Structure formats: C-alpha cells, structure tokens
Amino acid sequence: MEIKEVQSLKSEGLFSMVAELGHEQVVHCYDEATGLKALIAIHNTALGPSLGGTRMWNYASEQEALTDVLRLSRGMTFKAAISGLNLGGGKAVLIGDAKTMKTEAYLRRFGKFIQSLSGKYITAEDVNMNTADMEYISMETKYVTGLPESMGGGGDPSPVTAYGVYMGIKATAKKVFGTDDLGGKKIGVQGVGQVGSYLVERLVKENAKVTITDISEEKMKAIAKRFGVDTIDQDKIYDLDMDIYSPCALGASLNDDTIPRLKCALVAGGANNQLKEELKHGNMLLDRGIVYAPDFLINAGGVISVGNEFYGNYNRERVYRHTEKIYDTCLSILNLAEKEKITSQEAAIKMAEKRIEEVGKVRIPR
C-alpha cells in the first residue's frame, strides 16, 4: 500500500476515493422517521473487526462528511495496527445537529444499522458523542464499546490517551535530548480539554515548565490555576520559546504558516491529524530539524482502552501496561525514520503496514 496525501485527494466520487484509499466497504444509512443520516466506513479488517468512534457533526455537505469518514477510518487502521491491537480501522459519522437530533429512537436506529454489519464495525465515542449515547446504541447492538464503568466498560478513555502521549513525549525527548527526564523542559500545550489537562498534570508532576493555551479563556484560566502553569494567547503558542510543542486541540496545527515559526526541538501531542498535509508538512519539520512523534501512535491510548474493553474483562492495569509500550514503539519509529531518511509519519505507516501484511496473512478470520 502506498502512502497517499489524503488532504490532497483529487477525486470526489465515492468509488474513486475508495479506490485511492483502499477501503473495504462504505455503508450509507438513512431513516426517514428519525432523520438519521449516517455513513459507516470500514477501511481494513485484515487484523480484526474495524473499530473507530462515531462523530456527529453538522457537515456543510455530504461530500465533506464522506471525506471525513474515509480519512478518519483509514487513520484508525494504522493506529490499531501500530498499537499491536487485533483490530482493523473503521469510523462512522452522523450528519446533523447533535444538540437537537440525538433522541433515543435516533441512536437506537443507528445501533440497528451497526448490528446489521454483524461485527465488521465496532463503534465508540468521538466528537459530540458520549457514554450515555453509547448506552442507547448498545440496546440494539453488541458491537459498541466506550461504555460507562457502571456497565462494565472502561469509562472515559482520555486519561489513558494522555498517558500514551506522555510516553510519546518522553521517548521523543530521549531521542532528541539523550534523556527522557522532562524536569526543567519548556513545554507548550495547545488545548487543555480532556487529554490536554490530564497531560499537564503529568508534566507538572515531573517539574516541566509548562505553558498552556486554549480558545476557551475560562478553561485555560481554571487549568492554569489548578496546576500553577503559565498561559499564552492562542496564536502566540507557535512563537513561544519552548523545547517541546504538544498539540492537544484540533488537527492541522502543523502547516505552512506555523512550522516556520516553531522554535522547539520536538513536537509530540495528542491531537489527531496534526500535519495538515502528511508528506509535505512532515518533510517541512524534517527540514527544520524538528523531530515529530507520529500522532496516531502516541494518542493510541484511547483505542487501546476501548479495544481492551471490547475483548472483555476490562482491566485498567493491563490497559496502562499496553499503553506504556508506546514509548518503545515511538523510539523504534524515530530510529527507522532516521535510518531510512524518511519522515517519522512515513516510518510509522510503514511499520503499521508491515504488521497488517504479515499478521493479516497468518491470522484466521473469525
């Protein structure tokens, strides 16, 4: 499989896009009574059933929703593979307003569609979806994870995601500075939501000098007060004198405008799709000598958590032990990238594809 610049996809028709990205199946779901419009994309099931959250968004067009679901499900394939999970990549998007449309009937109808795929796709939370929504979906399908702890689930995966990001930062620091001790290191964290705030807590415990930013002034001030860290205006974070930049907000924060401004030695954060264009911006960082920890590897704690929940007998300690392996994997990827003179994102995808290729051949499909 060749690495594609997803963001520069030229095709717009479903079949040509699927042909470019290599999806196995894309399902359109419509229900007149509840107004449900959903797309489920199954990218690859060579290692196991496809798993990926459901995102609800008021997309400007169906094309936008389709592009999103295809791009995100492909990312899940690599994330599961690189994390050593026996899972494939999938994703679902619900087109509509999460504030007004999410009724019990709507969510259960969506659950029925998931059930009709007989386990080829397993869902979980993503943007604008929560554990309560998963409860309704679980009334119609067993192929759902990310359930509340009261139902035997793992609960909020964000603390596990933050732990994986922390492991990724330490591994990258080891590669760049020769030590993974973050004491005294100047770290800029963009976005102090679920993942960012748990991360800041760990960094502060290790005596790092943390500066945070967030578009929510209120949230930023509350977290700064709680952990005694500095704050900076949202756009100024890129010009901050820092050793480490940790993007934990939304995607595409590494782009033509921001990369030339960065003064850090490494970038390692929890946000998905940090590089606006994978190859172009990965190479821009490489040219500037800034080491980049691949996002889909170091933010995999969440999928490790929900994946373990799906296997059954959720065990928090086992989940954290699994997530800790991100440290070693990250170092291997950075070494491979250096050896082959490619970007770390390319090295990570290469490693994920190797596992899909090799293990996919020996695995007996269930």
Choose the stretch contacting ligand NAD; rule: CB under 6 A; options: 10-18, 40-48, 82-90, 269-277: 269-277
271 is a site residue for ligand NAD (CB under 6 A): yes
123 is a site residue for ligand NAD (CB under 6 A): no
CA geometry: angle 296, 25, 94, nearest 5 deg: 70
With helix as H, strand as E and coil as C, how does the chain read? CCCCCHHHCCCCCHHHHHHHHCCCEEEEEEECCCCEEEEEEEEECCCCCEECCEEEECCCCHHHHHHHHHHHHHHHHHHHHHCCCCCEEEEEEEECCHHHHCCHHHHHHHHHHHHCCCCCEEECECCCCCHHHHHHHCCCCCCECCCCHHHCCCCCCHHHHHHHHHHHHHHHHHHHHCCCCCCCCEEEEECCCHHHHHHHHHHHHCCCEEEEECCCHHHHHHHHHHHCCEECCHHHHHHCCCCEEEECCCCCCECCCCHHHCCCCEECCCCCCCECCHHHHHHHHHHCCCEECCHHHHCCHHHHHHHHHHHCCCCHHHHHHHHHCHHHHHHHHHHHHHHHCCCHHHHHHHHHHHHHHHHHHHCCCC
**Amino acid, single-letter form, for residue 253:** S
The residue among 18 and 200 lying less far from ligand NAD, judged by its C-beta, is 200
Q: Is 91 a catalytic residue?
A: yes
54 is a site residue for ligand NAD (CB under 6 A): no
Near ligand NAD by CB under 6 A: residue from 18, 21, 242, 249: 249
Q: Are 270 and 161 contacting, i.e. CB atoms less than 8 angstroms apart? A: yes
Choose the stretch contacting ligand NAD; rule: CB under 6 A; options: 16-24, 140-148, 190-198, 356-364: 190-198
Q: Compute the least distance from the CB of residue 194 to ligand NAD, in Å.
A: 4
Choose the stretch contacting ligand NAD; rule: CB under 6 A; options: 23-31, 194-202, 308-316, 350-358: 194-202
157 is a site residue for ligand NAD (CB under 6 A): yes
Q: Compute the least distance from the CB of residue 56 to ligand NAD, in Å.
A: 14
Binding mask 285-314 for ligand NAD (x = CB under 6 A): --------------x--x------------
Choose the stretch contacting ligand NAD; rule: CB under 6 A; options: 33-41, 247-255, 339-347, 356-364: 247-255
Near ligand NAD by CB under 6 A: residue from 193, 204, 277, 311: 193
Instruction: Check 91, 102, 185, 276 and give the catalytic one.
Output: 91
The residue among 177 and 320 lying less far from ligand NAD, judged by its C-beta, is 320
CB-based closest residue to ligand NAD? 193
The residue among 48 and 302 lying less far from ligand NAD, judged by its C-beta, is 302
Q: Compute the least distance from the CB of residue 274 to ligand NAD, in Å.
A: 8
153 is a site residue for ligand NAD (CB under 6 A): no
Q: Which of residues 204-223 bind ligand NAD (CB under 6 A)?
A: 213-216, 219
* Pairing verdict, β 54-57 and 186-190: unpaired
250 is a site residue for ligand NAD (CB under 6 A): yes
Q: Compute the least distance from the CB of residue 345 to ligand NAD, in Å.
A: 16
Structure tokens at 113: 């569609």
239 — phi, psi (to 5°)?
-100, 0
Q: Compute the least distance from the CB of residue 232 to ligand NAD, in Å.
A: 10
Query: By the criterion CB under 6 A, which residues form the site for ligand NAD?
Result: 157-158, 161, 190-196, 213-216, 219, 234, 248-251, 270-272, 299, 302
Catalytic residue positions, numbered:
91
